[in-house]
Chain A
Amino acid sequence: MTYLIQGETGDWEVVVGLEVHAQAITNSKLFSGAPTTFGAEPNQNVALVDAAMPGMLPVINEIAIEQAVRTGLGLRAVINRTSVFERKNYFYADLPQGYQISQFLHPIVGEGTVTVDLADGTSRDIGVERLHLEQDAGKSMHDQDPTRTMIDLNRAGVVLMEIVSKPDIRTPEEAGAYVKKMRAIIRYLGTCDGNMEEGSMRADVNVSVRPVGETELRTRVEVKNVNSVRFVMQAIEIEAARQVDVWEEGGEVVQETRLFDAHKGETRPMRTKEFAHDYRYFPDPDLLPIRLEEDFIEKIRASLPELPDDKKARFISELGLSAYDAGVLVADRDTAAYFEEAAKGHDAKQVANWLTTNLFGALNKLDLEIGASPISATHLGELVGLIEDDTISSRIAKDVFEEMLATSKSPEAIVEDKGLKQITDTRAIEAIVDQVIADSPDQIADVQGGNEKGIGWFVGQVMKASQGKANPGQVNGLLRKKLLG
């Protein structure tokens, strides 16, 4: 799918690269033993080294290294056996050391690939340039005091994985799909919770435009503060359109950092003095290079879970799901796990159907995540089982489902309590059929006069009389036999 901006002078192509900052799941910070929990009182989760007290020194958290390697493997990327922490020097109120410890020339993870799934059913590979580890900064609060900015260092030193894509993205949709897929992968891996609202996953978007046919890249602009998939897509549309206007008016796009303002639907330049940015990177002399042993990497590789792409392929080939359903189910690790649990021993296609149409709709209305579903995976599987073995009809199953949603009870218990078991006893059904026939002489004449469709009316009457419990197939058979001979 191409995405072109029609300008006065012709069509323009959009070139996008994404930098995803994902907070690695660890108990303690990258270089200190302070906790990483969200929502603590200001400056509670701060160790002496996080506040850059004189003489304090960083020591690397081994799980941070493991999480970075695990993520790298999940991105099908090269793991670098030697990597180096460097200092990125700049002054800011929430950067206590006056430098950020990051990786520059020698990141821990090199090139990899993310396959993104698009709405038209196609997929595309987007290149990953690198993944490096770095420490997060603290938080500046500008609106608490008229003359001062307040500083909270709780986040300072939290482990971030910065994942940089190649400029392979050409449409807002691809960018959105990339972020979604990245989130799915890190959540599957358990290396990041992917929570964009709490800021444990953030994205910066690098956007440039060029006339269709041009091969050189034009000046790119970094758009910050884009904290949802929807905003990523919006920010690209808005920024690309702005750049096309600039070029077409004979102007020049300047390399800068802009902030996305979802409220106003615009990007605007940050007021930081860009010219002064000269980060003076150099290897951090407080830390030695990290050297990874082959068996350390292999051990992590062996412990990787099945990732969304593989799972999707398996759902299609082994369970016979459609590509669409499989894609929907694997997009989120919890959904995929729920599905696999529910489908155990049951018809996978039917389970998928119940999940994607009924349960998703219900959860949506209740504003619940799948993890908080009132209907457990086992119960949903059991419901499908009751249909499969003809204990209830699909019609009754819908009522049972509603009851399950309201009470969290097992479908068997509900069927039992409410006496919803399907009537399959031919004699019992025959009695009801006979009664309905006896009560409806006019309709009989109609059917026997040639209107076979009139049978449907009789089926409806029988089902109504049986409170929906009669097996519809049997009812139909009996009526045909009795009315049409």
Chain B
Amino acid sequence: MSLTKDDVRKIAFLARIRVPEERLEPMAGELNNIVGWVEQLAEVNTDGVEPMTSVVETETPLRADVITQRAISDKILANAPDGEGSFFAVPKVVE
């Protein structure tokens, strides 16, 4: 499987990273090198092998349903690049 310039454009949009038009072709090359290299995994027989879900075999902990964090909007908003009142603000979205 080889990635085309178009594939890179699509993936870059999925990841919301603007890759300049002139970088698409070289990026496709770089990604193909890496993908081609990791494809050696296809040689490994993994029939009947479970994919690893966690390296440590412990159960997921559950927390008590209690309120531990309230009214910290000053901390939440402290680093906001744009906002109004206690809202975050982004460019207008049309649904």
Interface 1/0s, chain B 1-29, versus A by CB < 8 A?
A: 00000000010011010000000000000
The residue that A142 contacts in the complex, of B58, B72, B85, B92, with Cβ under 8 A, is: B92
| Residues in B53-95 with C-beta less than 8 Å from chain A | 53-54, 58-73, 75-77, 82, 84-95
B88 neighbours in A (Cβ, 8 Å)? 43, 93, 150-151, 153
The residue that B75 contacts in the complex, of A27, A48, A59, A285, with Cβ under 8 A, is: A48
A262 to chain B, nearest CB (A): 16
State the CA gap A60–B65 with chains docked (Å): 9
B53:A84 contact, CB within 8 angstroms: yes
Interface 1/0s, chain A 71-97, versus B by CB < 8 A?
A: 000000000000010000001010000
The residue that B70 contacts in the complex, of A35, A152, A270, A285, with Cβ under 8 A, is: A35
A150:B76 contact, CB within 8 angstroms: no
B60 to chain A, nearest CB (A): 4
A276:B73 contact, CB within 8 angstroms: no
User: Is there a chain B Cβ closer than 8 Å to A34's Cβ?
Assistant: yes
The residue that A42 contacts in the complex, of B64, B65, B86, with Cβ under 8 A, is: B86
B59:A43 contact, CB within 8 angstroms: no
B73:A46 contact, CB within 8 angstroms: yes
Q: How many residues of A contact B (CB 8 A)?
A: 54
B53:A288 contact, CB within 8 angstroms: yes
The residue that A272 contacts in the complex, of B10, B61, B91, B95, with Cβ under 8 A, is: B95
Which residue numbers of B lie inside 8 Å of A, CB to CB? 10, 13-14, 16, 53-54, 58-73, 75-77, 82, 84-95
A141 neighbours in B (Cβ, 8 Å)? 87
Interface SS majority for chain A: loop
B84 to chain A, nearest CB (A): 6
* A–B pairs, 8, beta carbons within 8 Å: A34-B70, A41-B86, A42-B87, A43-B77, A44-B70, A84-B53, A149-B89, A291-B60
A46 neighbours in B (Cβ, 8 Å)? 72-73, 76
The residue that B87 contacts in the complex, of A84, A151, A280, A288, with Cβ under 8 A, is: A151
B91 (CB) vs chain A CBs: closest residue: A148
A290 (CB) vs chain B CBs: closest residue: B60
Given the known A-B contacts A84-B53, A288-B58, are A93 and B90 also in contact in the complex, defined by CB atoms under 8 Å?
A: yes
State the CA gap A141–B88 with chains docked (Å): 10
A63 neighbours in B (Cβ, 8 Å)? 65
State the CA gap A34–B94 with chains docked (Å): 29
User: Is there a chain B Cβ closer than 8 Å to A137's Cβ?
Assistant: no
B65:A148 contact, CB within 8 angstroms: no
State the CA gap A152–B62 with chains docked (Å): 27
State the CA gap A285–B69 with chains docked (Å): 24
Given the known A-B contacts A93-B90, A283-B53, are A278 and B14 also in contact in the complex, defined by CB atoms under 8 Å?
A: yes
Q: Which of A35, A150, A152 gathers most chain B CB within 10 Å?
A: A150
A150 to chain B, nearest CB (A): 4
State the CA gap A328–B43 with chains docked (Å): 65
B51 to chain A, nearest CB (A): 9
User: Is there a chain B Cβ closer than 8 Å to A102's Cβ?
Assistant: no
B76:A51 contact, CB within 8 angstroms: yes
A67 (CB) vs chain B CBs: closest residue: B65
